[in-house]
Amino acid sequence: MDQGIRQEQGWTIDDDKCLRCGACVGVCPPLALDLTERGGIHFIEEKCTHCTLCEKVCPIGCIKVEPPKAKQHAH
């Protein structure tokens, strides 16, 4: 399953390097990550708290969590 680097709102993962070990899924407190039936990592942006635990636990460093975007306030 070679997909290269995948960017989604809030994070980046290198699918070619990912071991599919599930370490990131197991450490995610808000359950923003899930393993798919095909062995990929599914990211659920609205659940992510940007704690970076998934990035820190990845044994090969293929995950990069982006800082949360500042919310725009209506004036």
pLDDT digits (tens, 9 = 90+) for 40-64: 888 998 999 999 999 999 999 999 9
pLDDT value at residue 73: 54
Residues 8-34 have pLDDT tens digits of 878 899 989 999 999 999 999 999 999
Q: pLDDT category, 1, cuts 50, 70, 90?
A: very low
Residue 57 phi/psi, 5-degree rounding, is -90, -15
Q: Mean pLDDT across the stretch 58-72?
A: 82
Q: Say which residue the tokens 């990912």 belong to.
A: 18
Backbone torsion region of residue 18, taken as left when φ is above 0, otherwise alpha when ψ lies between -120 and 50, otherwise beta: beta
Tell me yes or no: is domain 5-65 CATH 3.40.190.10. no
